[in-house]
Structure 1
Amino acid sequence: MKDAGEYSAPSGRAWAVVGMLSLFMLVNFADKAVIGLSAVPIMRDLHLTNEQFGQVGSAFFFLFSLSAVLVGFVANRVPTRILLAVMGLIWALTQFPMLGAVSLPLLFACRITLGAGEGPAYPVAIHALYKWFPDEHRTFPTSLVAIGGTFGVGFIAPLITWMIVTYSWHVAFGFLGVVGVIWTAMWMVIGREGPLDVDRAEPVQAAAARVPYVRLLTARTALGVTIGGFAAYWAIALAIVWLPAFLIKAGGYTPTQTGWIVVLPSALQLIIIPGAGLLSQKLLRHGIPSRFSRGLFASGSISLAGASMILLSYSHAPAVQIPLVMLAFGVGAVIYSLGPPLLSEISPVGQRGAVLGLSNAVFSFAGLIAPWLTGHIVDVGTDPAVGFRQGFLFAGCLICAGGILAAILINPAKDLARFREGSTRLGGLAETSGDRDEFSESRAAHQIQSAH
């Protein structure tokens, strides 16, 4: 029976799965972004206030977190190949009703259903990915999956904007429905469960390595990753729902110009996310603790995004605004390539899917709050431009605070030591090995063995 350390040379199938999961996240974020790109015509056609449209944006997250939790536990037992296919099909089916006459209740219903289908997307995709790559090789492929979302929000935006301007926002939604169906069909042909599936490759660890979920979720690293993820997701929610409207109403850009500007944070992510992943992985291999090689990278990026958001709220000149838009909505996403490996370090493989889903559920609450709260701030402002700037100032302060807290909390080595001590007290067994390799998942699992 092979252990995790023998999977150092991923197969061609593994990289094909990485490619499909990256496309999965592209479709995921394109489905999210279309609502923001269509904001002005939807508000005009349905006669909505800013706060009402913010409520539509928040409705997407109504079942998002609950779904992430439930499916996260299901992912520990059901093949991820099936779960991902079901999600892709749900996304596609929620786009097609937008092709006809749309009322506000129908818009709410479709966005709520889409959110329920997308809530578990990233944690399940990462759980599927980690069945193909051991811990020391995960950061870079995780970054490749994460930048799929970058393409969805950014590089697909000009195409979606062109459809909205040339045809209508109804056509843009229908197009994304067709794309979702195509991805689902391709995944059923290409997708497979990886050799590091707990039921086949690591049965000893699956049976022995158990930590109560309360201890896992209140560990420093889990709290730090979740708080940092919440802060970064606040920026994502604003980018999806309000950034295009901000650029049009507060920045004075045309819809076509806006479609190209929202590409720029994604262009930056295309460089910074894989770059951070490669550098982090290299530092890890050279013995730099993951608290620094993963944690400080992620938390520093979040703080930089928050500071840029604060400056953006005061900026007026395009030469200043555009770089700040890139930083404010681009760099914080590094947490989504470095956070999951941090969580996987402290999570027994048999519990990993649930831990990823639970963390995702908590930090995605930002998506439920941010669109509505920002819309409310815009409506109570003296005018939309002032309201948007006030909303972005508040967001920047919140994001900065989240990055600082994440930097203070994240410390996988301390968490593993705490789990080991707890296991020793419960079972009267102490780990006597002198091996200090805190980065290998198989070693981490042995460190937290209980006496069950």
Structure 2
Amino acid sequence: MTDTDVVPAVPAAPVKTPPDQRRRAWTVTALLVVFMMVNFADKSVLGLAADPVREDLGLSASAFGLANSAFFLLFSICGAAVGLLADRVRPKWLLLTMAVLWSLSQAPLVLGGGLAVLVASRVLLGAAEGPAFPVAQQTTLSWFPNHRRNLPGALIVLGITLGVLVAAPVLTWVIHEHGWRTAVAVVAVAGAVWALLWIPFGGEGPHAGTRGTGTPKPVPADGPGAGTDRSAHGSDADPAADNRETDRVGEAAEDVAGAGGAARGTPYRRILATRTWIGATAAYFGTYWVIAFCLVWLPSYLHDGLGYSSATSARLLMLVWGLSGVVVLGQAGLTGWLLRRGSSSRRARGWVGGVLLLVGAGACLALPAAPAGAATVVLLVAGFGCAGAMGSVAATTVAELAPADRRGGTLGIMNAVVTTAGLIAPTLVGHLVDTHGTAGYRQALLITGVLLLLGGIAAVTLIDPARDARRLSARHAGPLAPDHDAPRQLA
């Protein structure tokens, strides 16, 4: 047994969160789930409309793949930049700005235009959506202490699945009945409506670091004006207020220290050099490759590569994303149960997420050789469905590793690296299909299986946030300061 196996994952005396703060926390979480639903409806609309778009604009598979890859041209850069900015600017306003830009960027495509307008619209949309996942995770997790983050973190990832599950039937109907440009208008309006709801109800929680300082941010539970300073009233005036303040101090201390003692002010370069960050990022890269494949090419693969009708392809697409949602929630429940029983995050997060990736890898590698029929469907659903949970695992793992004042930047940089998969996958698959026909899909599946295999191995072998947090704390503290009260010794 290693020293990391005995690190308690749950505080010895968990603090109680006031009911009004809990309600606000879950309200914000629900809004951010819808935020991610809109985000992935935006992403999926072109994949659902692949054939009409290609026919309307006269695009080859390579050109269509390039147009979708253009979405990720600024996606990663903006994800990292805004992630770093989120450590200094309130994420509430960053999220609002993103949602408004989503709607504005799609307006030209609604009005008309060809390939140039399509590419420009997707580039701008990608720039605005790049920071969405890390900033949404940062904001959600700011409402919960480490041992309670698995479910809210998983729900944000579930928003991806729900977005596609809702978008697939609704947008498919809109595309067939009213055209693909109308479908783009629908998702643009959805982003604007969300922005209007976020203004009064959004915000950060008590586990968000104060921008640019090393002290916890005292966010009120009931919104503006509710969080006045009660320390001057004393316990005689309001004992409950003192208890809440004690709870906040205790929970803030957990954020300052992290699971293993990572200190505020730790340089980003040291966090990014840890085995945990590298392992989580490598594993999440495989997951995002699957997401990009599913969004852009899975509908075409089901229809053209496997010969299913449009209606059957839509049902299978929903089945894939549905299983992904079940796996995400199941992983969150299992991880939370393991943490409550005292398991280390290495096992509860790294091993659970890694094993799911390995299952997905096996299914994808077996799929090209499987006979047509039920076996193909089972392998397809298992291969793509089991890979989705790693997004939640990676986010909660990195949030545990990084101190609160470095969490936004650390998550943003991870997301920037990971989402390069979205830049590569659509173009590569399109090239394979143009070059090899339907056999190109089989080659793409083998590439996907190898990436999931490597990611699963990385998760199982490298992720250990408690170990790396302790090492970060020791390096950040540096050598012990000399004791000036001790007698001087002769050289």
Matched position secondary structure for 2:389: helix
1:385 corresponding residue in structure 2:
438
Encode CA deviations 1:305-325: one digit per residue, 9 max, x unaligned.
122222222335231222222
Encode CA deviations 1:126-156: one digit per residue, 9 max, x unaligned.
1101221010000011111110110112332
2:348 corresponding residue in structure 1:
293
CA contact (8 A) 1:219 1:415 kept: yes
1:262 corresponding residue in structure 2:
317
The reply to whether residue 283 of structure 1 matches residue 338 of structure 2 is yes
**Correspondence 1:85-100 to 2 at 5 A:** 85-100=96-111
- Which of 409, 413, 425 aligns to 1:370? It is 425
**Correspondence 1:304-343 to 2 at 5 A:** 304-343=359-398
- Give, as a single letter, the amino acid of the residue that structure 2 aligns with 1:6: V
Matched position secondary structure for 1:332: coil
Deviation at 1:326, TM superposition (A): 1.7
Distance 1:325 1:165 in 2: 26
Distance 2:448 2:322 in 1: 22
- Give, as a single letter, the amino acid of the residue that structure 1 aligns with 2:275: R
Distance 1:173 1:87 in 2: 17
Relative distance call for 1:298 and 1:428 in structure 2 (3 A) is farther
Deviation at 1:96, TM superposition (A): 2.4
2:84 corresponding residue in structure 1:
73
Distance 2:164 2:370 in 1: 23
Distance 1:193 1:414 in 2: 28
1:449 corresponding residue in structure 2:
none
Deviation at 1:100, TM superposition (A): 2.7
Distance 1:281 1:205 in 2: 21
Relative distance call for 1:414 and 1:196 in structure 2 (3 A) is closer
Distance 1:378 1:427 in 2: 61
- Which of 457, 465, 471 aligns to 1:418? It is 471
1:6 corresponding residue in structure 2:
15
1:109 corresponding residue in structure 2:
120
Deviation at 1:424, TM superposition (A): 4.5
Matched position secondary structure for 2:438: helix
Encode CA deviations 1:135-180: one digit per residue, 9 max, x unaligned.
0000011111110110112332011111111221111111111111
CA contact (8 A) 1:8 1:137 kept: no
- Which of 175, 190, 206 aligns to 2:201? It is 190
TM-score by length of 2: 0.83
CA contact (8 A) 2:324 2:387 kept: no
Distance 1:223 1:67 in 2: 20
Deviates more, 1:273-282 or 1:356-365: 273-282
How many percent of aligned residue pairs carry the same amino acid? 38
1:64 corresponding residue in structure 2:
75
1:161 corresponding residue in structure 2:
172
- Give, as a single letter, the amino acid of the residue that structure 1 aligns with 2:101: I
2:399 corresponding residue in structure 1:
344
- Which of 410, 413, 424 aligns to 1:355? It is 410
Distance 1:246 1:320 in 2: 16
Deviation at 1:195, TM superposition (A): 2.0
Encode CA deviations 1:73-96: one digit per residue, 9 max, x unaligned.
111111111111111111112222
Deviates more, 1:93-102 or 1:350-359: 93-102
The reply to whether residue 146 of structure 1 matches residue 157 of structure 2 is yes
- Give, as a single letter, the amino acid of the residue that structure 2 aligns with 1:89: V
Relative distance call for 1:338 and 1:208 in structure 2 (3 A) is closer
CA contact (8 A) 2:263 2:473 kept: no
CA contact (8 A) 2:402 2:469 kept: no
Matched position secondary structure for 2:266: coil
Distance 2:58 2:335 in 1: 48
Matched position secondary structure for 1:11: helix
Distance 1:224 1:115 in 2: 25
Relative distance call for 1:351 and 1:83 in structure 2 (3 A) is same
Superposition RMSD in Å: 2.0
CA contact (8 A) 1:7 1:133 kept: no
The reply to whether residue 171 of structure 1 matches residue 182 of structure 2 is yes
- Give, as a single letter, the amino acid of the residue that structure 1 aligns with 2:376: Q
1:432 corresponding residue in structure 2:
none
Distance 1:153 1:311 in 2: 26
CA contact (8 A) 1:69 1:357 kept: yes
CA contact (8 A) 2:141 2:152 kept: no
Deviates more, 1:311-320 or 1:363-372: 311-320
Deviation at 1:413, TM superposition (A): 2.5
Relative distance call for 1:316 and 1:164 in structure 2 (3 A) is farther
Flag structure 2 segments of 5+ consecutive residues without an equivalent.
Answer: 1-12, 211-216, 219-251, 483-491
2:301 corresponding residue in structure 1:
246
Deviates more, 1:57-66 or 1:416-425: 416-425
Deviation at 1:406, TM superposition (A): 2.1
1:38 corresponding residue in structure 2:
49
- Give, as a single letter, the amino acid of the residue that structure 2 aligns with 1:146: V
Distance 1:371 1:426 in 2: 49
Encode CA deviations 1:307-356: one digit per residue, 9 max, x unaligned.
22222223352312222222222211111112111111210110100000
Deviation at 1:427, TM superposition (A): 4.7
CA contact (8 A) 1:217 1:223 kept: yes
Distance 2:409 2:480 in 1: 25
Distance 2:24 2:396 in 1: 21
- Give, as a single letter, the amino acid of the residue that structure 2 aligns with 1:423: H
Matched position secondary structure for 2:208: coil
- Give, as a single letter, the amino acid of the residue that structure 2 aligns with 1:43: R
Flag structure 1 segments of 5+ consecutive residues without an equivalent.
Answer: 430-452
Distance 1:212 1:131 in 2: 20
Number of matched pairs = 424
- Give, as a single letter, the amino acid of the residue that structure 2 aligns with 1:321: T
1:134 corresponding residue in structure 2:
145
Deviation at 1:99, TM superposition (A): 2.1
Which has the higher Rg, Structure 1 or Structure 2?
Answer: 2
TM-score by length of 1: 0.90
